Structure 1
Amino acid sequence: MLYQLGTVQFDVAPVNVAEMEREVGADFAAKDIVGGPRPREFVGEADEPLRLSGTLYPGKFGGLGGLSTLETMARSGQPQMLVRGDGTVFGWYFLERLRQKQGYLNNQGIGREITFEISLMKSPKAASSQAMLGTLMSLFA
Protein backbone atom coordinates (compact mmCIF):
# COMPACT_ATOMS: atom_id res chain seq x y z
CA MET A 1 0.00 0.00 0.00
CA LEU A 2 1.27 3.46 -0.92
CA TYR A 3 -1.56 5.46 0.71
CA GLN A 4 -5.05 4.88 2.01
CA LEU A 5 -7.76 7.56 1.97
CA GLY A 6 -10.88 6.38 3.77
CA THR A 7 -11.70 3.02 2.20
CA VAL A 8 -9.63 3.51 -0.98
CA GLN A 9 -6.18 1.94 -1.06
CA PHE A 10 -3.64 3.36 -3.48
CA ASP A 11 -1.13 0.76 -4.56
CA VAL A 12 1.01 0.00 -7.58
CA ALA A 13 -2.16 -1.43 -9.21
CA PRO A 14 -5.04 -0.90 -9.79
CA VAL A 15 -5.19 2.67 -8.34
CA ASN A 16 -1.64 4.00 -8.44
CA VAL A 17 -0.31 7.20 -6.88
CA ALA A 18 2.80 8.50 -8.62
CA GLU A 19 3.12 11.90 -6.90
CA MET A 20 2.27 13.49 -3.56
CA GLU A 21 2.53 17.19 -2.82
CA ARG A 22 1.86 18.71 0.61
CA GLU A 23 2.09 22.16 2.20
CA VAL A 24 2.49 22.83 5.91
CA GLY A 25 2.76 26.29 7.43
CA ALA A 26 1.62 28.85 9.97
CA ASP A 27 -0.60 31.92 9.82
CA PHE A 28 0.44 35.30 11.20
CA ALA A 29 -1.49 38.51 11.75
CA ALA A 30 0.35 41.72 10.86
CA LYS A 31 -0.13 44.66 13.22
CA ASP A 32 0.26 48.23 12.05
CA ILE A 33 2.57 50.40 14.15
CA VAL A 34 3.91 53.89 13.61
CA GLY A 35 7.50 54.30 12.46
CA GLY A 36 8.61 50.70 12.09
CA PRO A 37 8.11 47.39 10.39
CA ARG A 38 4.83 45.61 11.05
CA PRO A 39 5.32 42.91 13.70
CA ARG A 40 3.61 39.60 13.14
CA GLU A 41 1.75 37.52 15.68
CA PHE A 42 1.29 33.77 15.32
CA VAL A 43 -2.42 32.96 15.08
CA GLY A 44 -2.30 29.22 14.36
CA GLU A 45 -1.62 26.60 11.76
CA ALA A 46 -2.18 27.46 8.10
CA ASP A 47 -4.39 25.41 5.81
CA GLU A 48 -2.71 22.14 4.90
CA PRO A 49 -3.45 21.20 1.29
CA LEU A 50 -2.30 17.85 -0.05
CA ARG A 51 -2.40 16.58 -3.62
CA LEU A 52 -2.18 12.99 -4.86
CA SER A 53 -1.91 12.16 -8.55
CA GLY A 54 -1.54 8.98 -10.52
CA THR A 55 -2.63 6.86 -13.45
CA LEU A 56 -5.04 3.96 -13.91
CA TYR A 57 -5.10 1.39 -16.69
CA PRO A 58 -8.61 -0.05 -16.20
CA GLY A 59 -8.39 -2.48 -19.12
CA LYS A 60 -5.34 -4.18 -17.59
CA PHE A 61 -5.65 -3.65 -13.83
CA GLY A 62 -9.16 -2.31 -13.09
CA GLY A 63 -9.53 0.61 -10.70
CA LEU A 64 -12.74 2.24 -11.93
CA GLY A 65 -14.43 1.24 -8.67
CA GLY A 66 -11.79 3.17 -6.73
CA LEU A 67 -12.46 6.29 -8.80
CA SER A 68 -16.18 5.89 -8.21
CA THR A 69 -15.60 5.66 -4.45
CA LEU A 70 -13.45 8.81 -4.56
CA GLU A 71 -16.27 10.65 -6.38
CA THR A 72 -18.68 9.57 -3.63
CA MET A 73 -16.25 10.81 -0.97
CA ALA A 74 -15.96 14.19 -2.68
CA ARG A 75 -19.73 14.57 -2.86
CA SER A 76 -20.27 13.48 0.76
CA GLY A 77 -18.30 16.38 2.24
CA GLN A 78 -17.09 14.10 5.03
CA PRO A 79 -13.43 14.06 6.08
CA GLN A 80 -11.51 10.84 5.42
CA MET A 81 -8.49 9.43 7.26
CA LEU A 82 -5.26 9.56 5.21
CA VAL A 83 -2.49 7.06 6.02
CA ARG A 84 0.82 6.52 4.21
CA GLY A 85 2.06 3.00 3.46
CA ASP A 86 4.70 3.12 6.21
CA GLY A 87 1.95 3.67 8.80
CA THR A 88 2.30 7.46 9.11
CA VAL A 89 -1.12 8.93 9.88
CA PHE A 90 -1.60 12.32 8.21
CA GLY A 91 -5.00 12.81 9.82
CA TRP A 92 -8.45 13.70 8.51
CA TYR A 93 -8.79 15.34 5.09
CA PHE A 94 -11.67 16.62 3.00
CA LEU A 95 -11.60 15.58 -0.64
CA GLU A 96 -12.12 18.99 -2.26
CA ARG A 97 -11.62 18.04 -5.89
CA LEU A 98 -11.13 14.96 -8.05
CA ARG A 99 -9.85 15.69 -11.54
CA GLN A 100 -9.75 12.95 -14.22
CA LYS A 101 -8.41 12.86 -17.75
CA GLN A 102 -9.26 9.83 -19.86
CA GLY A 103 -7.22 9.06 -22.95
CA TYR A 104 -7.23 6.37 -25.63
CA LEU A 105 -10.97 5.75 -25.31
CA ASN A 106 -12.23 2.25 -26.01
CA ASN A 107 -15.46 1.43 -27.87
CA GLN A 108 -17.45 1.94 -24.63
CA GLY A 109 -16.05 5.45 -24.08
CA ILE A 110 -13.81 4.40 -21.19
CA GLY A 111 -10.22 5.57 -21.25
CA ARG A 112 -7.54 2.93 -21.52
CA GLU A 113 -5.35 5.37 -19.58
CA ILE A 114 -6.90 7.55 -16.88
CA THR A 115 -4.83 10.15 -15.08
CA PHE A 116 -6.27 11.62 -11.90
CA GLU A 117 -5.49 14.30 -9.36
CA ILE A 118 -7.02 14.43 -5.89
CA SER A 119 -6.98 17.75 -4.02
CA LEU A 120 -7.33 17.32 -0.26
CA MET A 121 -7.55 19.82 2.60
CA LYS A 122 -6.78 18.98 6.23
CA SER A 123 -9.87 18.87 8.43
CA PRO A 124 -9.75 20.39 11.92
CA LYS A 125 -11.80 17.48 13.26
CA ALA A 126 -12.61 13.85 12.58
CA ALA A 127 -15.65 12.64 10.72
CA SER A 128 -18.78 12.04 12.78
CA SER A 129 -19.41 8.47 13.89
CA GLN A 130 -22.51 8.42 11.66
CA ALA A 131 -20.40 9.40 8.62
CA MET A 132 -17.81 6.72 9.43
CA LEU A 133 -20.58 4.13 9.72
CA GLY A 134 -21.97 5.26 6.36
CA THR A 135 -18.53 4.86 4.78
CA LEU A 136 -18.23 1.33 6.17
CA MET A 137 -21.75 0.44 4.99
CA SER A 138 -20.91 1.66 1.47
CA LEU A 139 -18.28 -1.08 1.27
CA PHE A 140 -21.02 -3.70 1.38
CA ALA A 141 -23.57 -1.95 -0.83
Structure 2
Amino acid sequence: MMLALGMFVFMRQTLPYQSMQRSADYSWASNSRIGKRDAFQYLGEGEDKITLSGDLYPELTGGKFSMLTLYAMAEQGRAWPLISGSGWIYGMFIVSNVSETGTVFFEDGSPRKISFTLSLTRVDESLAALYGDIGKQAESLVGKAGDLLSKMGA
Protein backbone atom coordinates (compact mmCIF):
# COMPACT_ATOMS: atom_id res chain seq x y z
CA MET A 1 0.00 0.00 0.00
CA MET A 2 1.30 3.41 -0.99
CA LEU A 3 -1.51 5.57 0.39
CA ALA A 4 -5.16 5.27 1.40
CA LEU A 5 -7.87 7.86 0.83
CA GLY A 6 -10.86 6.63 2.80
CA MET A 7 -11.32 3.02 1.72
CA PHE A 8 -9.55 3.54 -1.63
CA VAL A 9 -6.03 2.11 -1.50
CA PHE A 10 -3.36 3.43 -3.86
CA MET A 11 -1.13 0.55 -4.94
CA ARG A 12 0.27 -0.93 -8.13
CA GLN A 13 -2.96 -2.81 -8.92
CA THR A 14 -5.24 0.24 -8.50
CA LEU A 15 -3.75 3.70 -9.00
CA PRO A 16 0.05 3.80 -8.60
CA TYR A 17 1.05 7.45 -8.60
CA GLN A 18 4.56 8.42 -9.68
CA SER A 19 4.54 11.91 -8.18
CA MET A 20 3.21 13.39 -4.94
CA GLN A 21 3.38 17.14 -4.38
CA ARG A 22 2.29 18.88 -1.18
CA SER A 23 1.73 22.60 -0.81
CA ALA A 24 0.81 24.34 2.46
CA ASP A 25 -0.15 28.02 2.64
CA TYR A 26 0.01 30.24 5.72
CA SER A 27 -1.95 33.47 6.15
CA TRP A 28 -0.35 36.74 7.22
CA ALA A 29 -1.88 40.22 7.45
CA SER A 30 0.32 43.23 6.80
CA ASN A 31 0.07 46.66 8.40
CA SER A 32 1.79 49.62 6.78
CA ARG A 33 4.06 51.72 8.99
CA ILE A 34 5.56 55.13 8.33
CA GLY A 35 9.29 54.95 7.72
CA LYS A 36 9.49 51.23 8.48
CA ARG A 37 8.81 47.95 6.81
CA ASP A 38 5.31 46.60 7.05
CA ALA A 39 4.45 44.73 10.24
CA PHE A 40 3.03 41.25 9.75
CA GLN A 41 0.66 39.29 11.94
CA TYR A 42 0.23 35.55 11.61
CA LEU A 43 -3.43 34.66 11.02
CA GLY A 44 -3.13 30.90 10.82
CA GLU A 45 -2.91 28.07 8.40
CA GLY A 46 -4.21 28.43 4.87
CA GLU A 47 -4.87 25.72 2.30
CA ASP A 48 -3.04 22.41 2.47
CA LYS A 49 -3.08 20.65 -0.89
CA ILE A 50 -1.72 17.35 -2.14
CA THR A 51 -1.47 16.53 -5.83
CA LEU A 52 -0.91 12.96 -7.02
CA SER A 53 -0.06 12.27 -10.64
CA GLY A 54 1.05 9.33 -12.68
CA ASP A 55 0.41 7.03 -15.59
CA LEU A 56 -1.81 3.96 -15.69
CA TYR A 57 -1.33 1.11 -18.10
CA PRO A 58 -4.61 -0.84 -17.82
CA GLU A 59 -2.96 -4.06 -19.03
CA LEU A 60 -0.51 -3.91 -16.10
CA THR A 61 -1.91 -1.56 -13.46
CA GLY A 62 -5.27 -0.16 -12.48
CA GLY A 63 -7.48 1.30 -15.15
CA LYS A 64 -10.86 2.87 -15.74
CA PHE A 65 -12.46 1.24 -12.68
CA SER A 66 -9.92 2.89 -10.36
CA MET A 67 -10.53 6.26 -11.98
CA LEU A 68 -14.32 5.81 -11.75
CA THR A 69 -13.98 5.08 -8.04
CA LEU A 70 -12.21 8.41 -7.49
CA TYR A 71 -14.87 10.26 -9.50
CA ALA A 72 -17.55 8.62 -7.33
CA MET A 73 -15.73 9.61 -4.14
CA ALA A 74 -15.47 13.23 -5.35
CA GLU A 75 -19.17 13.32 -6.26
CA GLN A 76 -20.16 12.27 -2.73
CA GLY A 77 -18.90 15.63 -1.45
CA ARG A 78 -17.32 14.12 1.65
CA ALA A 79 -13.97 14.44 3.38
CA TRP A 80 -11.85 11.29 3.54
CA PRO A 81 -8.93 10.40 5.83
CA LEU A 82 -5.61 10.33 3.98
CA ILE A 83 -3.09 7.87 5.43
CA SER A 84 0.31 6.88 4.05
CA GLY A 85 1.53 3.30 3.72
CA SER A 86 3.88 3.94 6.64
CA GLY A 87 0.96 4.96 8.87
CA TRP A 88 1.34 8.75 8.70
CA ILE A 89 -2.06 10.47 9.02
CA TYR A 90 -2.20 13.53 6.78
CA GLY A 91 -5.71 14.55 7.86
CA MET A 92 -9.15 14.77 6.27
CA PHE A 93 -9.13 15.62 2.57
CA ILE A 94 -11.68 16.32 -0.12
CA VAL A 95 -11.18 15.41 -3.77
CA SER A 96 -11.05 18.87 -5.37
CA ASN A 97 -10.07 17.81 -8.90
CA VAL A 98 -9.65 14.65 -10.98
CA SER A 99 -8.25 14.81 -14.49
CA GLU A 100 -7.18 12.12 -16.91
CA THR A 101 -5.81 11.92 -20.43
CA GLY A 102 -6.00 8.73 -22.48
CA THR A 103 -3.41 8.07 -25.18
CA VAL A 104 -2.16 5.18 -27.36
CA PHE A 105 -5.54 3.57 -28.02
CA PHE A 106 -6.65 0.00 -28.67
CA GLU A 107 -8.88 -0.78 -31.66
CA ASP A 108 -12.00 -0.48 -29.46
CA GLY A 109 -11.06 3.07 -28.42
CA SER A 110 -9.93 2.26 -24.89
CA PRO A 111 -6.59 3.82 -23.92
CA ARG A 112 -3.43 1.79 -23.38
CA LYS A 113 -2.09 4.64 -21.27
CA ILE A 114 -4.04 6.91 -18.89
CA SER A 115 -2.20 9.91 -17.44
CA PHE A 116 -3.97 11.21 -14.33
CA THR A 117 -3.80 14.01 -11.80
CA LEU A 118 -5.68 13.97 -8.51
CA SER A 119 -5.90 17.13 -6.38
CA LEU A 120 -6.80 16.84 -2.70
CA THR A 121 -7.50 19.69 -0.27
CA ARG A 122 -7.34 19.34 3.51
CA VAL A 123 -10.49 20.39 5.34
CA ASP A 124 -9.97 19.47 9.01
CA GLU A 125 -8.80 22.04 11.54
CA SER A 126 -5.79 20.11 12.83
CA LEU A 127 -4.70 16.61 13.70
CA ALA A 128 -5.08 17.50 17.38
CA ALA A 129 -8.73 18.41 16.78
CA LEU A 130 -9.22 15.23 14.76
CA TYR A 131 -7.75 13.09 17.54
CA GLY A 132 -9.79 15.02 20.09
CA ASP A 133 -12.99 14.22 18.21
CA ILE A 134 -12.00 10.55 18.02
CA GLY A 135 -11.30 10.62 21.77
CA LYS A 136 -14.74 12.10 22.50
CA GLN A 137 -16.38 9.50 20.28
CA ALA A 138 -14.51 6.70 22.06
CA GLU A 139 -15.55 8.06 25.48
CA SER A 140 -19.15 8.24 24.31
CA LEU A 141 -19.04 4.66 23.03
CA VAL A 142 -17.52 3.40 26.30
CA GLY A 143 -20.25 5.21 28.24
CA LYS A 144 -22.98 3.73 26.06
CA ALA A 145 -21.46 0.25 26.35
CA GLY A 146 -21.37 0.62 30.15
CA ASP A 147 -25.02 1.73 30.20
CA LEU A 148 -25.99 -1.23 28.04
CA LEU A 149 -24.12 -3.68 30.29
CA SER A 150 -25.75 -2.25 33.41
CA LYS A 151 -29.20 -2.58 31.80
CA MET A 152 -28.47 -6.19 30.84
CA GLY A 153 -27.29 -7.02 34.36
CA ALA A 154 -30.27 -5.33 36.06
TM-score, normalised relative to structure 2:
0.75
Map 1:1-141; keep pairs closer than 5 Å: 1-124=1-124
Query: Aligned-pair RMSD on alpha carbons?
Result: 1.6
Whose helix fraction is larger, Structure 1's or Structure 2's?
Answer: 2
Deviates more, 1:58-67 or 1:17-26: 58-67
Instruction: Summarize the Cα distance change of 1:36–1:81 in structure 2 as closer, same or farther, 3 Å threshold.
Output: same
Deviates more, 1:85-94 or 1:56-65: 56-65
Deviations 1:15-66 (CA, angstroms, capped at 9, x unpaired): 2111100012421110122221111000001211110112211133343221
Which segments of 5 or more consecutive residues in structure 2 lack a partner in the other structure? Answer: 131-154
Q: Structure 2 CA distance, aligned partners of 1:81 and 1:107?
A: 39
SS at match of 1:60: coil
One-letter amino acid of the structure 1 residue matched with residue 8 of structure 2: V
Say whether the 8 Å CA contact 1:14–1:58 is kept in structure 2. Answer: no
Q: Structure 1 CA distance, aligned partners of 2:62 and 2:39?
A: 55
**What's the offset of the Cα at 1:73?**
1.7
SS at match of 1:47: strand
Whose strand fraction is larger, Structure 1's or Structure 2's?
Answer: 2
Structure 1 residue runs of 4+, over 6 Å off?
none
Higher relative contact order (CA 8 A, sep 6+): 1
Which segments of 5 or more consecutive residues in structure 1 lack a partner in the other structure? Answer: 127-141
Deviates more, 1:111-120 or 1:62-71: 62-71
Structure with max Cα Rg? 2
**What's the offset of the Cα at 1:89?**
0.6
